[in-house]
Structure 1
Amino acid sequence: MAVRTALLLFLSCFTFFGSDEQHNQWVAVKQSLTLMGSPFEITVIAPNEDIGYISIQEAVDEIRRIERMISSWDPESETSLINQNAGIQPVRVSRELFSLLERSIQISEITNGAFDLTYAVLDDVWKFNEDMEKFPSPERIRQAVSRIGYEKIELNRDEFTVYLPEKGMKLGFGAIGKGYAADRAKELLISKQISSGFINAAGDVTAWGTRVNGEKWLLGVANPLGKNRIFTWVPLIESSASISGRFDKFLTFNGKRYSHLINPATGYPVTEIIRVIVFGQSAELCDALATAIHILGKEEGLHLINQLGDTEVIIIDNFGELTSSMGLKMLNP
């Protein structure tokens, strides 16, 4: 389907404490805070507010634990130790991080490298803020791209070690980390008998159960030019979604708009797609695929999603045209 309009996403996880929103005396408890350097919102359906806030705090602690493992800004994280030892020696890591790396490489393989953890070397080249006054030189970009390549990562399953064989190589979990954190927080909450909830990890969302009144959690697509008028709703039933591409984070040079997402094969920002929304069971996979499709482009991205099971996508190009995959179920506003 195609709709020629510029669109953004409006996350619908409405929570009210009035009597019309209560079912069997349970309440919706919501907290917004900054985690992993980004805005998070966690909503749980709990027997009372005290249990709700305690449960949310446990989820927050889990997310912070994951951040300490994957952050490339924390010099003591496992990821930073891997980066610091690039071209020097392998680094022994936790089984959790090792497994995340294995899954990440598998995603790199099915996306032909459009998703690639070693893209992180480009973070030193492109700065999407007021400090970015001109394009980096082609030579600087070429040198950075020469250090990129998921296939270069050496994993030793017997020793649980990770080795980046070239000096200057870096791992970055920015395109999968928040999705992974959302999944793990959800698993923790379910283990604590929180049977319904909604986590929005800066656009990587996961939902389970129902709202406190028994209705489905919904993700709404809105037209920013229409004062948040909802174009369509997508129900999230025991599932997740990830939003790649921000309207407020881009560069404009010589009248051309450049996304903050970088193609690891070329080292340059993508320009053809404004936003990608991937729907599936795992927030981790949705997170990675949303980035990959942004890089692959509309046709190749749709082809990829249509080959995968239980995964759907909405793609919005730079002309404001919305295209969705074959199996996506949407609701009228």
Structure 2
Amino acid sequence: MHKLLAVYQFLGRLWIHKRLFYGLMGLLLTSGVSAQMRFSFHRGLMGTQFNLIVYAPDSVVAQQVNAAVSARMDSLNQIMSDYLDGSEINRLSATAGSGKWVPVSTDLFHVLQKAQTIARLSNGRFDPTIGPLSLLWRRAVRRKEFPSAKERRRARQAVGYRFIELDSLHRSVRLLKPGMRLDVGGIGQGFAVDEALKTVHALGVQATLLDIGGDILVGAAPPKSNGWRVEISSGKVNDQDTITILLHDAAITTSGDTYRFLEHKGRRYSHIMNPRSGLGLRHFVRATVLAPTGYQADALTKVFSVAGLRKSKKLLKRFPGVDVLMVENKNGRLHVWQSAGFQQLEISRLRKR
């Protein structure tokens, strides 16, 4: 009897120690999850500022993430930048009109696939073959000389997303018309942050914010938060009102001509170009797009800006999961419209002082 009692006492102590052990392990695991620290990194990239914010368990992990993201972004810049003479996209453009199928990298093929899809769904309001017109406008801004009608007409003849052929089986591209020049600047930054987020996740980090020139992509929410606080314009022109929204696992981008435009004979032309006319937009329009991915948010700001507020309401139906806030000033009249998603995300209006 005494031996049996001793056994029960031993088992009882073992059970208590076991509960204590698992309780302590649970506490340690919980502490490990919640003890995430915030790290920020900043650098110049793709002609603008790139910001990376991560929540990681220590500085070693954070530095590893930053190094991997920087390497990924640099490699994509070498592939997609039409500003770099030796970039892969410029080498591809040099084959235009030759009739040759050109094998390309996985990254270039994927960004061209996405660009062509958005071009088709937007009826050409976004066009990755806009390169000849982009060159004209860059020179115009640099020299402060408006391109002639003849120059614009010649450039437009080499523009058209239907002149790109993609072969998925052999991952090859053919540019059908001589003089074609690819320009994925309107989608490339968004595509780059999408790829960077994959890199972050592969290293086991979830709570992340990536921002390149205003193209923002966020992963999981920061610890003890429902989302990342992102401020955007409230919709009024030239004021300081902002809307603060909480985001996680989403992208948001704004395009407008507040700072980048060209003036000619008293008329203002936006840096956002209409591929059909070959001219920058001549009325004020600002589009903020919320989308599941960075490439969608980046490209669709141009689509909705070119389409204008009225047509954008119809176009939006072609892009599931996308929401837009638009401000348009035509003939002195200001119009503001936001889709249902923005109304649900808005949490406060803050006046900056």
Q: Is TM more than 0.5 here?
A: yes
Tell me the TM-score normalised to structure 1 length: 0.87
Alignment correspondent of 2:110: 99
Q: Give runs of aligned pairs for residues 1-333 of structure 1, distance below 5 A.
A: 24-88=34-98, 89-127=100-138, 131-222=142-233, 225-226=238-239, 228-230=240-242, 232-318=243-329, 321-328=335-342, 329=344, 330-333=346-349
Deviation at 1:326, TM superposition (A): 3.1
Q: Which has the higher contact order (CA 8 A, sep 6+)?
A: 1
Query: Which stretch of structure 1 is more off in the superposition, 207-216 or 169-178?
Result: 207-216
* Separation in structure 2 between the aligned mates of residue 128 and residue 80 of structure 1, nearest angstrom: 18
Deviation at 1:131, TM superposition (A): 2.7
Question: 1:263/1:104 Cα in 2 relative to 1: closer, same or farther (>3 Å)?
Answer: same
Deviation at 1:306, TM superposition (A): 3.8
Tell me the TM-score normalised to structure 2 length: 0.82
Unaligned stretches of 5+ residues in structure 1: 1-21
1:81 aligned partner, one-letter code: R
Deviation at 1:167, TM superposition (A): 1.8
2:339 aligned partner, one-letter code: S
* Separation in structure 1 between the aligned mates of residue 143 and residue 150 of structure 2, nearest angstrom: 17
* Separation in structure 1 between the aligned mates of residue 135 and residue 318 of structure 2, nearest angstrom: 35
Question: What secondary structure does 2:86 align onto?
Answer: coil
* Separation in structure 2 between the aligned mates of residue 57 and residue 79 of structure 1, nearest angstrom: 25
Question: What secondary structure does 2:274 align onto?
Answer: coil
Deviation at 1:307, TM superposition (A): 4.4
Check whether the contact 2:273–2:280 (CA below 8 A) recurs between aligned residues. Answer: yes
Check whether the contact 2:141–2:262 (CA below 8 A) recurs between aligned residues. Answer: no
1:55 aligned partner, one-letter code: V
Check whether the contact 1:155–1:163 (CA below 8 A) recurs between aligned residues. Answer: yes
* Separation in structure 2 between the aligned mates of residue 136 and residue 233 of structure 1, nearest angstrom: 40
2:75 aligned partner, one-letter code: R
Percent identical: 24
* Separation in structure 2 between the aligned mates of residue 261 and residue 229 of structure 1, nearest angstrom: 24
Residue by residue over 1:157-209, the C-alpha shift from the partner in whole angstroms, topping out at 9 and shown as x without a partner, is: 33322121222101111011000000010111011111101011111111111
Unaligned stretches of 5+ residues in structure 2: 1-31
Check whether the contact 1:180–1:283 (CA below 8 A) recurs between aligned residues. Answer: yes
Deviation at 1:279, TM superposition (A): 0.3
Alignment correspondent of 1:14: none
* Separation in structure 1 between the aligned mates of residue 151 and residue 103 of structure 2, nearest angstrom: 31
Question: 1:25/1:157 Cα in 2 relative to 1: closer, same or farther (>3 Å)?
Answer: closer
Relative to total residues, which structure has the larger helix share, 1 or 2? 2
Question: What secondary structure does 1:175 align onto?
Answer: helix
Larger Rg: 2
